Homo-oligomer: A and B are copies of this chain.
Amino acid sequence: MSQLDRSLIAGLPLFRTAKPEDLDRVLSSARSLRVAKDTTIFEEEAEGHSFFLLLDGHVRVVKTTPGGDQVIVRYISAGELIGIAHAMGRTTYPASAVAAVDCVVLAWPSAMWPEFMAQIPGFGETTYQTVGSRLQDVQARLVEMSTEQVEQRVARVVLRLAEQNGRKTGEGVEIDFPISRQDIAEMTGTTLHTVSRLLAAWEAKGLVKSGRQRVTVVEAGRLQSLAEGRAAST
């Protein structure tokens, strides 16, 4: 159990205003763990004994219905906290977290949450803003689900993922973790069949390139037009 290096977390917005000795204290109580692709970090409804900081990788947050349907609530990328149910006065996790790729996370017992809140300058403020912006985000998606056609929703999701987790390649911006048609369907409330058809149609028009668990946005502008409901010309 060697001491983790301060530089791991020093650059994060979350610890922007923390003092160096705070960082050391935070790290000394952290367990760091490696999480293999497709492994569950924590399960919906389970006792929320820990909270986590994603150091590297991508995690999807998933809710499962009694009927067995899954919905991907959001993707988390490196630098963000996961499992902060505690911050909202919950004792169980409201959703499951699954590694979309091999990940590295830091974990702390939830019992330490109050200590972090009280002792690390800016920590509380930042996390509450995070919760607030997640609320904004989910509300916006609720509106989209209520008012938009499937094609618009899928276009939006693909654009957002490319924006937030994109890697520039020769052909455009590629979503930099493996994402299946099924995953996109679970983010947009449709089926993998419909997603497949849409991506095929877009590819034919040159808007995207895609393959097995891989999507690249080629013409963001025209995809944006689709997302906004104006039919893309040509």
Contact = CB atoms under 8 A, between A and B. Distances in A.
A147 B87 contact: no
A78 to B, nearest CB: 22
B88 A142 contact: no
A99 interface: no
Copies of this chain assembled into the complex: 2
Grouping DSSP codes into helix (H, G, I), strand (E, B) and loop, the A interface class, with mixed when no group exceeds half, is: helix
Interface in A123-172: 128-129, 131-136, 138-139, 141-143, 145-147
A87 B133 CA distance: 11
Interface stretch (A12-20, A67-75, A100-108): A67-75
A63 interface: yes
A199 to B, nearest CB: 19
A181 to B, nearest CB: 16
Give the interface size class of chain A. 20 to 34
A88, A94, A128, A146: residue with the most chain B Cβ atoms closer than 10 Å:
A146
B146 A71 contact: yes
A61 to B, nearest CB: 9
Nearest to A86: B132
Nearest to A145: B145
Given A189-B145, A189-B146, A132 B87 contact: yes
Contacts of A66: 228
A11 interface: no
A2 interface: no
Contacts of A3: none
Contact of A94 (B69, B94, B139, B145): B139
Contacts of A146: 69, 71, 145, 186, 188-189
Contacts of A134: 135
A128, A145, A147: residue with the most chain B Cβ atoms closer than 10 Å:
A147
A71 B135 CA distance: 15
Nearest to A63: B143
